[in-house]
Amino acid sequence: MKKICSFLFCALTLFLLGCDSSTEKSQNPAQSNAPQLETGRFSLQKMIAPARLWAGDALPIRMKSTTSKDSLGHDGKAAFWQALFASAAKQKMENFSWSGTPPRGVDHGTEDTFNSGNRSMQPFDLNFLKVDSDKAYQVAQEHGGKQLLAKNPNQEVFYLLDWDSRVSQLRWHVIYGGSENSAQLTVIVDASTGDFVHKE
């Protein structure tokens, strides 16, 4: 009987300790408000299901990350990604976004007209995306990015994924700067092979 009581007492103590620590974690505002940083592929996968609910044939045209004071875009990760999806059947397109900061999750914008004849706005097959943004970042670092970050560790880096219909290639643009127009360096990486394409 003593052994059973001792066992029950130990089990109850461990259970209560577990409850206390989990309660502390859930009530810690610093932890719950910390941004969740993710790669482009992770974020795109989160957006695909809602996009397919909008249109069963929805495919992405392009995806872009956004930087913030909590998320400079280093290591190929960001707290906010936005993707433009198109539906050939509906002849419409719509923006979807994934956020790793409160309120977390996927959101979407409003429909717009989609012209499938526009070669600069061609959807891509998801099977082409074999190399994630973190790998693209590593390639970009080897082609000038490392030197820029050594000079300025707070340099913003954002990512753009699109389809180049001229050469049938899915590409990551790793952009060192606040915008495409003010970029200090842009490195293009093949999103299917991970090969360096060129820099601008």
Regarding whether 77 and 24 lie in a shared domain, the answer is no
Alpha carbon distance 66, 101 (integer Å):
12
Retrieve residue 143's tokens.
Answer: 């082609």
Tally of structural domains, the chain: 2
pTM of the entire structure? Answer: 0.83
Confidence of residue 145 (pLDDT cuts 50, 70, 90): very high
34 pLDDT band, cuts 50/70/90, is: confident
Q: What is the pLDDT of residue 31?
A: 55
Give me the pLDDT at residue 6, please. Answer: 47
Residues 80 and 141 in one domain: yes
73 with 161, same domain: the answer is yes
Cis amide prior to 60 (ω within 30 degrees): no
Q: Are strands 157-164 and 169-176 parallel, antiparallel or unpaired?
A: antiparallel
